[in-house]
Structure 1
């Protein structure tokens, strides 16, 4: 769960501050620091639904949310055949749910794709499908990919001069915002992205698949 912290700072006048979205765990740590500051009071937490919680209630909420999804990692890739235009995309989602780990895999074939860069941006956009289907809205997540251009552009490190790809970048950022996500984009080498790469290859071959696996803390399939 992500929340905002709101508090009043007393100097010559009362000033109200509101934080960016942070995880509930981090919020409780920040509140502990704020409570040690004499000029800060009227601290409250606001969740994604607009509900308000006192610091005491927030600690109780932590116990309730122990089984909430966490450690959300996504991997995406696209395979593109230049001569035939055949395109496949692959997605993998991992996250922890209490002591259990959940893994989702997906491969899809795409039509009417003109070049490999377009396929990578479309793959990145649709990796959020897994987030939406698992109802992981409002969570922190790390998105891994070997599409260096797309990742570096989303990080703001590289400019994008292609208007068509820029529109995809806007769609990606808008969708993350709509899902109230706090995504971290991470570029990885192909060998670190082999699972999504193999799925993308299968998609290009017309093998479309979906799988969901959940294991307990000892690795047993549930």
Structure 2
């Protein structure tokens, strides 16, 4: 979750104006809000989330305490591969997250049938990642989704329209699932060389090698 701070600033001679911050991580927003209060010139400090809901300071502090015991600071890498000759697809996902002060990495791949293109495989991989987030109890927070598919990243972020019926169907399923989980997605397009883990997992799935594993990172 990201928070925007809105406050009224009053000068010594009584002139007032309203300021609004950029979106900030919750902990940063609280620190800045507390600092603003110390100046004695800021009043009506309001904390607003990405859904335009307002939060009290004690609510945000409770949120931080709860989030520390749940997966947070989540980054998801995904990739899908499609073999035209066999009409088989392979999906690969890598999820990095923090929990209880520790860092973790989850890797998973899976074969897929019934797909008709590489773009569908990419969408299927993204959907698999979101299903896995649900199993990890990743809810009501911002998650970064990273991939090398221009089609998926640009369509899901709204930069490109989707015309193909199959891709529209995948995008709708993904949006519904994200809304159910309360996840606010941030999509990032990267070169293939920066998505090698997920790419390798997708290739291994096509080759019939199943991989599922989770480790603590040192």
Compute the displacement of 1:185 (Å): 0.5
- How far apart, in 2, do the equivalents of 1:199 and 1:208 lie? 9
| Total equivalences in the alignment | 199
- Alignment check: 8 A CA contact 1:45 1:55 kept: no
125 and 30 in structure 1: CA distance in 2 versus 1, 3 angstrom threshold: farther
Deviations along 1:6-44, whole A, 9 cap, x unmatched?
Answer: 99x9xxxxxxxxxxx985325525754885543x27x68
- How far apart, in 1, do the equivalents of 2:131 and 2:24 lie? 23
- How far apart, in 1, do the equivalents of 2:88 and 2:5 lie? 51
56 and 78 in structure 1: CA distance in 2 versus 1, 3 angstrom threshold: closer
Matches within 5 A, 1:22-37: 24-29=26-31, 31-32=33-34, 37=42
Deviations along 1:178-197, whole A, 9 cap, x unmatched?
Answer: 11112110111111111001
Could you tell me which residue of structure 1 aligns to residue 175 of structure 2? Answer: 173
Compute the displacement of 1:89 (Å): 0.5
Deviations along 1:187-221, whole A, 9 cap, x unmatched?
Answer: 11111111001100111112222111113xxx2xx
- How far apart, in 2, do the equivalents of 1:108 and 1:63 lie? 35
Could you tell me which residue of structure 1 aligns to residue 155 of structure 2? Answer: 153
Compute the displacement of 1:115 (Å): 1.3
Could you tell me which residue of structure 1 aligns to residue 16 of structure 2? Answer: none
158 and 55 in structure 1: CA distance in 2 versus 1, 3 angstrom threshold: same
Compute the displacement of 1:82 (Å): 1.0
Q: Structure 2, unaligned stretches of length 5 or more? A: 9-22
152 and 45 in structure 1: CA distance in 2 versus 1, 3 angstrom threshold: closer
Aligned equivalent of 1:112, options 114, 132, 140: 114
Matches within 5 A, 1:1-222: 2=1, 24-29=26-31, 31-32=33-34, 37-38=42-43, 40=44, 54-56=56-58, 58-59=60-61, 62-63=64-65, 65-215=67-217, 219=218
Compute the displacement of 1:142 (Å): 0.7
- Alignment check: 8 A CA contact 2:71 2:137 kept: no
- Alignment check: 8 A CA contact 2:71 2:136 kept: no
- How far apart, in 1, do the equivalents of 2:209 and 2:186 lie? 30
- Alignment check: 8 A CA contact 1:151 1:185 kept: yes
- Alignment check: 8 A CA contact 1:132 1:179 kept: yes
Could you tell me which residue of structure 2 aligns to residue 14 of structure 1? Answer: none
- Alignment check: 8 A CA contact 2:72 2:138 kept: no
- How far apart, in 2, do the equivalents of 1:193 and 1:87 lie? 17
- How far apart, in 1, do the equivalents of 2:188 and 2:96 lie? 15
Q: Structure 1, unaligned stretches of length 5 or more? A: 10-20
CA RMSD, Structure 1 to Structure 2 (Å): 3.2
Deviations along 1:144-195, whole A, 9 cap, x unmatched?
Answer: 1111111011111112121221121121112111111121101111111110
- My pick for the range that moved more, 203-212 or 57-66, is 57-66
- My pick for the range that moved more, 56-65 or 194-203, is 56-65
